[in-house]
Amino acid sequence: MSGTLIASERVAVDWHSHFMMLADAIDGLLLAGETALTSFAAEQSDFIRFNGGKVRQMGLVSQGKLTLRLIDGARQAYSTLDICGNADQDLRDVGAALQTLRSGLRDAPDDPHLLYDTTAWQRSTRRTGRLRDPHALIHVVAECARGLDFVGFYAGGMLARGFASSCGSRGWHEVENFCFSWSLYHPGGRAIKTTYAGENWDDAKFASKVQEAAARLPVLALAPRALGPGRYRAWLAPAALEELLGVAAWGGFSSRAQATSQSPLYRLHGGELSLDARVSLTEDLGLGITPAFNDDGYLRESVPLVREGRSVAQMTNARTAREYGLVPNGALASEAPSSLSMPGGDLADADVLAALGTGLYVGNLWYVNFSDRMSCRLTGMTRFATFWVEEGRVVAPVDAMRFDDNLYGLLGERLERLGAQPELRLSEDTWGQRATGGMQLPGVLVKSFELTL
């Protein structure tokens, strides 16, 4: 996370009431013909870094950021400012920002692709999670990590997003959740990475995840299996599939990228290629992990992207819709899904190794990028928790190796089975602020996965 972690006593701010007060004040400051679109992001988050099972760094961040867009005709300007929670101070700052934007609009050119929703709506989501007090959490980790080289990062607390339009719309999304990722290191330098995320902390579930990873540490002491370049039967765990789909989503589901022939899934959306009929992908707002509205004032609904292996829709932002004559469907400015969901299949977790037989168990991937964007070919490295399996039994670790493979093949003709239980993986992004969103994905058993060196 950028910036400084702030260790301080907790000061509760009612961000919902504060934001709505600011939104009403902005409406009252507008001149005839002006429209304001106001977006808000806030958090009160605990951050804890562990090393050797002990606390290395601990702190609390409480922050709010407001982005004010002023629109006059076809001209627009925007400004982002920090909000402290003090009514008098924030009202002065918002008033000054509005004056600056109004002055800037005098010389601003018309924006030919400006489009925003002018309807009035109300949408509110507020969920209180069951999170561990950070001091109690430290003791839980110390007990579960006793005797282990435990290195991890915990981020948890309240996340809020808001939207207000002078046309009458008001939106609020507030949840409490956590994301905890850690690695257990073997003295030889190898490690096993695990993630636990959600809205309701469970000591027993956390302990079980630590114990499950610890049970595989003895395997890391064995001589690594040397593999040459080639194609190997493989199980890609949900974390590995998340890395692949996360990169493919960089334009892969974007209407703009498709219209400009830059989408890595261009051939899928064009109908030239398809995925396995068991593969369906949805921007699933029903998961409740991302706001049901966007910064252009549009309500967001679930969008089926791939159904039974075939493309049925793309993510369309308002600017793209205006430029290319399309209909906006609530997509964010990036036109990347923020709540991607994929249904599971029939392969139970307990049966994964037996179904794999002999091949690679790939726990996660890193440094994933395109090697051939227009063919949706991806390259990267295997990382922690990659093992060689023989006859359904883990027999050796596999050192990091580079892969280069095609998503059309992995989720197409080479897909053998889907995991029965999709895993909800919340975003671990904390750059500037904790992110909302994530993915819910199963693992996949594939007939071959290509290693190159």
pLDDT of residue 11: 60
pTM score, whole prediction: 0.93
Residue type present at position 233: R
Residue type present at position 344: G
Q: 389-430: per-residue pLDDT in tens?
A: 999 999 999 989 999 999 999 999 999 999 999 999 999 999
pLDDT of residue 5: 37
Q: 314-370: per-residue pLDDT in tens?
A: 999 999 999 999 999 999 999 999 999 999 999 999 999 999 999 999 999 999 999
Residue 246 CA: distances (Å) to CA of 27, 365, 380? 38, 11, 13
- Residue labelled with tokens 């307990």: 350
CATH 3.30.2290.10 domain residues, the chain: 15-218
Of the candidates 321, 333, 316, 339, the one whose C-alpha atom is nearest the C-alpha of residue 254 is 316
Of the candidates 121, 167, 171, the one whose C-alpha atom is nearest the C-alpha of residue 26 is 167
Instruction: Assess whether pLDDT exceeds 70 at residue 206.
Output: yes
Q: 155-181: per-residue pLDDT in tens?
A: 999 999 999 999 999 999 999 999 999
Q: Check: CATH 3.20.20.80 for 15-218?
A: no
Q: 103-125: per-residue pLDDT in tens?
A: 999 999 999 999 999 999 999 99
- Percentage, residues of the chain above pLDDT 90: 94
Letter string b/e over residues 196-207, b meaning 16 or more CB atoms within 10 A of that residue's CB: bbbbebeeeebe
Instruction: Assess whether pLDDT exceeds 90 at residue 188.
Output: no
Q: How far apart are CA 55 and CA 189, in angstroms?
A: 21
Q: How far apart are CA 214 and CA 206, in angstroms?
A: 12
